Structures are given as structure tokens and as C-alpha cells.
């Protein structure tokens, strides 16, 4: 059992928790993830490590309430316990030798992007961050990004905060103005990452994308998180849990990934509604 040390609502649909897990905190690096179960009968879900306090032995997770399990998790409070908290899993984000990087986060994907930006900043790299949200009400982690970025662009789809538009707008402006990046890292909705890759492609800038497909065991055994990459004209299957979650954005078959990601949407929506009703009637 793993205790919830702190709980904080970042916006109406996104929650931050710190979990007491000293062995995970001692090893976890930016870009890696954990798999948790809320209770003994619960499903396994992957969540990215959003930060660690090695002295306290805590691991920060940030999640959006979209399904049955995240609904159950959000009903837990500080001092209570969850069943399992396994990790760190996956390959850490590559940061060595990068002097100038652009970090692009969309929505709750900013929770993954933020510790990566912090790591680059700590290593002395020049960090430009672009974070995007549908509206001001959904904004998260702005102060954290300010603290670790040389430049920060905040975008909202409806123009209610920051600049009006999506994350590719300032990226395209900078690239067209001659800005040079060693690497672009983008994390967020698949459609957003696809268009970041398309925006960067004419300029030849390397793009790393963080993939978060359906995942069960986190060891590559189930095959649920498989992705198709196009490498040298050949289709290659990789597994996000053991080969990723970071991949070369120019190789990812985003259309297939989006199609697979929609497979269980109706089922998950129904499960979420049933879970909400259980809490209402409790």
C-alpha cells in the first residue's frame, strides 16, 4: 500500500498528488512513468512521473479525470492509500548534449513536459517552452514553466489567456524567423503532436514525441501499447512501455495511433459514468 502525502486540484479536471514511494523516487528520471492501481480490484493505469523529492521519498503524479480509475483516484485524499505504485518504467528522456531545446506541452501533457524542461534547465540548456490549453480555466503549471524557461509562450484556443491560437503558432514564427533548436520535444494530444511534427519538418529540426497509448502491464508482454514506426521505408512495431515513451516524431504513424486510442472510448465513458454514480449514491 502507498500513502498519498499531498493532494492539490490544479484545475476542475486535473489533480496533483504526491505518493510516498521512496524506492521509485530514488530511481525515477524525467520522461519515465509508473503504473498504479487504486484498489485490489482496480485496473492498471500508467501515469508519468511529474517530479520526485528524493529526501522525502515522494513521487509527484498529475492526472486528468477522464475515466473510471482516475475518478476513483480523485476521490482519495491525503493520508489515504492506493494499492500499487510500480516503477520507474520506460526509458528516460535523452538530455545529454542538448544546448538549445523547445519544449511543447498541451493540456495535461504539460505535467510530463515540465520535469523535462526542469532537467534541461538544470543542465544549463537554453529552454523555450510553449504550453497550450483550451481556455484559461484549464491552465496548469505556468509558474513552474516560468522558473525553468528562458522563454515561455502560453497559448489558449479561445484567447482567454496568453496568446490566441495553438502551440504551433509561436513555433512556426520562431522557425521562420531563423531560430535554431537542437531538439523539439512535444507532449500532449496525438493530434497536437502530429501537427508539431508537420510544422517542424520543413526546417529539419529533430522532434521527439512522448507516446501514451493503451497500456496494461508495462513490460511489453501484453502488446497493448504497440506503435507502428516508419523506419527507412519499413514498418516497424515498437512498444511504448519498454521502447519509449519517447520516439522520433517523424517515424510515428499518428493516424494509426489515434485510431487505436479511440477503440475503447465508449467503454471508458460508460465506466466513468457508472463510477460517478456509485460515488453519488454512496
User: How many Å apart are CA 103 and CA 118, to the nearest integer?
Assistant: 10
CA pseudo-torsion sign 181, 109, 112, 48? negative
Q: What is the mean pLDDT of residues 175-180?
A: 96
Cα–Cα distance measured from residue 56 to residue 59, given in angstroms and rounded to the nearest whole number: 9
For residue 271, what pLDDT is reported? 57
Domains 2-89 and 100-210 share a fold: no
Return the pLDDT at 267: 56
Q: Environment class of residue 276 by beta-carbon count within 10 Å: exposed (0-12), middle (13-18) or buried (19+)?
A: middle
Q: Which of 193, 265, 264, 254 is nearest to 227 (CA)?
A: 254
Q: What is the mean pLDDT of the chain?
A: 90
The fold adopted by the segment(s) 100-210 is Rossmann fold (3.40.50)
Return left, alpha or beta for 128; rule: phi > 0 is left, psi -120 to 50 is alpha, else beta: beta
Q: Where are the domains of the chain?
A: 2-89, 100-210
Q: Which helix (H) or strand (E) holds 26?
A: helix 22-27
Considering only residues 262 and 175, tell me which one the structure prediction assigns the higher pLDDT. 175
Average pLDDT over residues 86-114: 93
Which is nearest to 92 in space by CA: 31, 24, 46? 31
Q: Which residues contact 247 (CB under 8 A, 6 or more apart)?
A: 208, 209, 211, 227, 229, 238, 240
- Quick one: pLDDT at residue 34? 93
Among residues 142, 195, 134, the alpha carbon closest in space to that of 159 is found at 134
CATH code, 2-89:
2.40.30.10
The single residue listed with the C-alpha cell 510515428 is 252
For the entire predicted model, the pTM comes to 0.87
**Residue 54's pLDDT is what?**
93
Give the residue from 232, 271, 223 showing the smallest Cα distance to 250: 232
Confidence grade of residue 121 (pLDDT, cut at 50, 70, 90)? very high
DSSP for 43-74 reads: PPEEEEEEEEETTTTEEEEEEE--SHHHHHHH
- Summarised one tens digit per residue, pLDDT across range 219-261 is 778 887 888 999 888 999 999 889 989 999 999 998 888 887 6
Between CA 166 and CA 8 the distance in angstroms is 27
At 216, the pLDDT band (50, 70, 90 cuts) reads: confident
Q: Which of 49, 45, 47 is closest to 28 using CA atoms?
A: 49
Quote the CA–CA distance of 266 and 198 in Å, as a whole number.
30
Residue 162 in grid coordinates: 496568453
Q: 45 with 108: CB under 8 angstroms?
A: no
Amino acid at each position: 500500500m502507498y500513502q498519498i502525502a499531498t493532494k492539490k486540484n490544479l484545475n476542475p479536471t486535473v489533480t496533483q498528488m504526491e505518493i510516498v514511494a521512496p524506492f521509485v523516487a530514488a530511481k525515477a528520471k524525467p520522461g519515465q512513468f509508473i503504473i498504479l492501481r487504486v484498489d485490489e480490484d482496480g485496473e492498471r493505469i500508467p501515469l508519468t512521473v511529474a517530479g520526485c523529492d528524493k529526501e522525502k521519498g515522494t513521487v509527484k503524479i498529475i492526472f486528468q479525470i477522464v475515466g473510471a480509475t482516475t475518478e476513483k483516484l480523485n476521490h482519495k485524499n491525503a493520508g489515504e492509500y492506493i494499492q500499487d505504485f510500480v516503477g520507474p518504467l520506460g526509458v528516460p528522456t535523452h538530455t545529454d548534449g542538448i544546448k538549445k531545446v523547445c519544449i511543447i506541452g498541451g493540456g495535461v501533457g504539460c505535467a510530463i513536459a515540465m520535469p523535462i524542461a526542469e532537467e534541461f534547465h538544470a543542465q544549463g540548456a537554453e529552454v523555450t517552452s510553449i504550453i497550450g490549453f483550451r481556455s484559461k480555466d484549464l491552465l496548469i503549471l505556468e509558474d513552474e514553466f516560468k522558473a525553468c524557461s528562458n522563454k515561455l509562450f502560453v497559448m489558449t484556443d479561445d484567447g482567454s489567456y496568453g496568446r490566441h491560437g495553438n502551440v504551433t503558432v509561436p513555433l512556426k514564427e520562431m522557425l521562420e524567423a531563423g531560430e535554431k533548436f537542437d531538439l523539439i520535444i512535444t507532449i500532449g494530444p496525438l493530434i497536437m503532436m502530429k501537427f508539431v511534427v508537420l510544422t517542424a519538418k520543413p526546417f529539419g529540426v529533430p522532434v521527439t514525441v512522448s507516446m501514451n497509448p493503451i497500456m496494461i502491464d508495462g513490460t511489453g508482454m501484453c502488446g497493448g501499447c504497440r506503435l507502428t514506426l516508419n523506419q527507412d521505408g519499413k514498418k516497424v512495431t515498437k512498444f511504448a512501455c519498454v521502447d519509449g515513451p519517447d520516439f522520433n516524431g517523424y517515424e510515428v504513424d499518428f493516424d494509426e495511433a489515434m485510431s487505436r486510442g479511440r477503440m475503447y472510448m465508449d467503454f471508458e465513458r460508460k465506466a466513468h459514468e457508472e463510477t460517478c454514480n456509485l460515488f453519488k449514491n454512496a
